[in-house]
Structure 1
Amino acid sequence: METTPKSIGTFESYDGTSIYYETHGQGEPLVLIYGIACPINHWHYQIEYFSRNYQVIAFDLRGHHKSTPIADMSQLTLEALCKDIAGLLEHLNIKSAHFAGHSFGAPILLNLYSMHPEIIRSMTFINGFARNPIKGMFGLEVIEPFFYFVKGQYENQPDLWNTLWKVAIDNPLAMYAAALAGGFNLRVTHFKDIEVYCRGVARMNLKVFIAFFEELMKFDGEPILEKIEVPVLVISGEKDAVTPIRFQYHLKEKIKNSEFVLVPYGSHCTQLDFPDYTNLKIEKFLQQGVRED
């Protein structure tokens, strides 16, 4: 149950794409960035908690949910996503903000920092990574070759594969498979949150998903890590098989102003599994003091 009213809106980004956003509460701005194909719902516990003392801003990435259609389908890049975020802050007349990124939200944040470090007060990474997490995922070397197989098939028969995508994702078996693969902890995550996620994924244009997934695999944020000057909090789910702990440990090792929190039994969606613990750790981090405007 939300404790503060929300304001919703859209703004036209640099290429004419309409970006949907929500603001909740008042105070220092905190921008939440979800991962590929995720919904704003992934942040509902954080929105409820932090909107009591912060201006919480959540939005849909271009090509996702209410930020569709994309005006220029060639603009499916990390740079485009970062331009959207910078444009969103400008639209809201915000000079700088705290940011939290989940999963692919971490590479987005790293790239945003390389483009606009002046707009970032602090960064929280939840189950994030700085380089391709797909190689060796689940201890196997099949995910990347399978991705390029699907991409090739999609390019030959896009209508067929969009249909197959919807059927494969929007069903109970896929929802349980997502949890068992380490995406969620079924013992503590409400199944409704998993349903919301899978149904949102199923409604996405597969071309958008493929383009951003390829951006994920190509991204190398290593040169950015040692240049970060703002405080950073790294949160890692102990049972995350999607982006295992070693990726979060690496962030901690390379970023000099960073803290590390391991969440026991946390899955890839730690913020949904254990929201109270996650929120308290983020709140403590934010209260320690960060860069002034």
Structure 2
Amino acid sequence: MKTIEKRTGTFTSFDNTEIYYEVRGQGRPLVFAYGIGCLINHWHFQIEALSHNYQTIVFDYRAHHKSGSPDDLNNLTTEAIAKDMLLLLDHLEIKSAAFLAHSFGGQVLVKGHQLDPKRFDLMIFVNGFASNPIVDMYGSNFSEKLFHKIKNGFEALPSTVSYLWKIVVDNPIAARVSALAGGFNFHLTKFNDIEIYLKGISSISLEAFLFLFEDMMNFDGRDHLDKIKIPVLIIGGEKDSITPLSYQHEMEQKLEKSEFLAIPYGSHCTQLDFPDYVNLRIEKFLIEHEYLKLNV
């Protein structure tokens, strides 16, 4: 298959934070938003497949990887990332696009639509959610308690907790633990993709990660879902223990023009578990809604 040339760049966002992006292909634009602490590699199968017929656009969130960190942590929020995404369209002189979100990217899309709905032609959510994803995670409030323990520990001993965090995340056992927790299907996702994810999350400042994670917990965009009138595709994994299908079903019920697909054995990263299946379903959705036709 022909290799698609990658164009990279940065732009200065509303608070002077530099945002990194990548563009491939030509045609109608597809904008990708990944999960919290994740990286562009989470979409590599979709980018490779879709760049042959579309212009694919991916970006690093503020405080993630090749993007800069805001001087003021109060600008490290879901809303700030949504603003970055919309300003990226301005920078690339794109009026509107189809948007694809994985996990926390769902909140980013919902907030972005709330800020400027006319920029959205279509939406695709993969293992997405619009509210606090760790409420009753694994059937208890353990995850929420664990978050606050880590946060309190960091506030008391920032250097020590940051050091311990990197040791834990960089440990090879972490890959198997993340799979067992439902983050990946260890039998389907390539081990290299899990390793890349863990190296990526270890490179993010723990202070920034905790601040954004708490904002994610406090975000609730469910009241806005019934205001989204464009076609939406929702994909969930039946083995996703992190954001179970109940989150996607709730979105399906509130969205006026939604289509739903539950993938057997799909984990929290369904797009990495079953890339060909996910790609075919995405392309079917785009074609059915005539998204291959260029704007006149």
Deviation at 1:233, TM superposition (A): 0.3
Does residue 259 (structure 1) correspond to residue 242 (structure 2)? The answer is no
TM-score scaled by length of structure 1: 0.97
For the structure 1 residues 285 and 16, does the alpha-carbon distance in structure 2 shift closer, same or farther, using more than 3 Å as the test? Answer: same
1:17–1:72 Cα contact (<8 Å) kept: no
Who is 1:64 aligned against? 64
Is 1:226 matched with 2:226? yes
- Structure 1 stretches lacking a partner, 5+ long: none
Gaps of 5+ in 2: none
Q: How far did residue 30 of structure 1 move?
A: 0.1
Match of 2:126 in 1: 126
- The Cα offsets for residues 132-151 of structure 1, whole Å up to 9 and x where unpaired, read as 12111111221112211211
Q: CA RMSD in A?
A: 1.3
Change (3 A) 1:14 1:127: same
2:49 alignment counterpart: 49
| CA distance in 1: counterparts of 2:46 and 2:71, whole angstroms | 31
Which position in structure 1 is the counterpart of 2:246? 246
Deviations 1:55-92 (A, max 9, x none): 00011000000012333332111111111111101000
SS in 2 for 1:133: coil
Letter in 1 for 2:219: F
The residue correspondences of 1:124-163 to structure 2 (distance < 5 A) are 124-163=124-163
Report the Cα distance in structure 1 between the residues aligned to 2:71 and 2:98, rounded to whole angstroms. 29
Task: Supply the AA of the counterpart residue of 1:247.
Answer: Y
**SS in structure 2 opposite 1:47?**
helix
Paired with 2:41 and 2:76, the residues of 1 have a C-alpha distance of 23
How far did 1:29 drift?
0.2
Within-5 A mapping of 1:203-218: 203-218=203-218
**Where do residues 47-196 of structure 1 align in structure 2 (5 Å cutoff)?**
47-196=47-196
Q: Which amino acid is 2:24 matched to?
A: H
Moved over 6 A (4+): none
Secondary structure of the structure 2 residue equivalent to 1:9: strand
SS at match of 2:38: coil
Mapped to 2, the partners of 1:104 and 1:278 lie a distance apart of: 18
Cα deviation code 1:243-277 (max 9, x no counterpart): 00111111111101000011111000000000000
CA contact (8 A) 2:234 2:261 kept: yes
Relative to 1, partners in 2 of residues 1:2 and 1:241: Cα closer, same or farther, differing over 3 Å? Answer: farther
Aligned pair count reads 293
Q: Which piece of structure 1 moves more, 144-153 or 265-274?
A: 144-153
CA distance in structure 2 between the partners assigned to 1:202 and 1:123 by the alignment:
30
Which residue of the partner structure matches residue 32 of structure 1?
Answer: 32
CA contact (8 A) 2:73 2:211 kept: no
Deviations, residues 179-215 of structure 1 (Å, cap 9, x unaligned):
1100001111100000000011011101111111111
1:140 aligned partner, one-letter code:
S
> In the alignment, which residue of structure 2 is the partner of 1:9?
9
Following the alignment from structure 1 to structure 2, what is the Cα–Cα distance between the partners of residues 289 and 146?
A: 43
AA aligned opposite 2:245: I
Cα-to-partner distance string for 1:149-176 (whole Å, 9 max, x where unaligned): 2111111221111111111101111111
Report the residue type matching 1:5 in the other structure.
Answer: E
- Matched-pair identity in %: 51
